[in-house]
Structure 1
């Protein structure tokens, strides 16, 4: 089962963030493009041929986020969309953050094919 096939589990708080070794293992499973930013959040920049595609991608990721009950920060600009993911309640990463990242990658596939 790939990371994208897992269901996000809502965090109610009171759990510790993932340990660094588990975070690194899951980051390797995600594959290229994803990194930890200065705040320790997952982040990836996706590029597109124009603003319309950037916005369409952001809307697709937004729909997945609503369905999963797990919401990333999306930064949309001409030809690009940055996705930033972390679990707000614990100000750290959980496995669900990696599941959502993999789901974002899955939503990007049709855009990659059309490039």
Structure 2
């Protein structure tokens, strides 16, 4: 388990401040296969995973759903034949928080 994946997610209220672009870029160094995207003015953390078939992508989607439910923090997941794309961001604050990077690291672990 990576050091980042072992960290504890902190409760994130609507009063929390989203990461700045520099903070997010610095945090991204621990997750080289992820990228920061800007959708509708909101920074989000995104990665796609390839699978041999739909069944593999669907099983991965369920594993990500399990870690999301456990953390009480839910990503956008697009599941298609041979591919799943996961996007993390903190909805309440309209941007990225350390929790998103922790859960992205956990997502990488369930993909292995």
Whether the TM-score (by the shorter chain) exceeds 0.5 is: yes
| Structure 2 runs not aligned, ≥5 long | none
CA RMSD of aligned residues (A): 1.1
* TM-score, normalization by structure 2: 0.92
More strand by share: 2
Which stretches of structure 1, 4 residues or longer, exceed 3 Å deviation after superposition?
Answer: none
| Structure 1 runs not aligned, ≥5 long | 110-115
Matched, 1:49 2:52: yes
Aligned mates of 2:52, 2:38 — CA distance in 1: 28
* Offset of residue 20 of structure 1: 1.8
After superposing the two structures, state which structure 1 stretch, 70-79 or 18-27, moved more.
Answer: 18-27
* TM-score, normalization by structure 1: 0.89
Aligned mates of 2:46, 2:7 — CA distance in 1: 19
Q: How many residues align?
A: 108
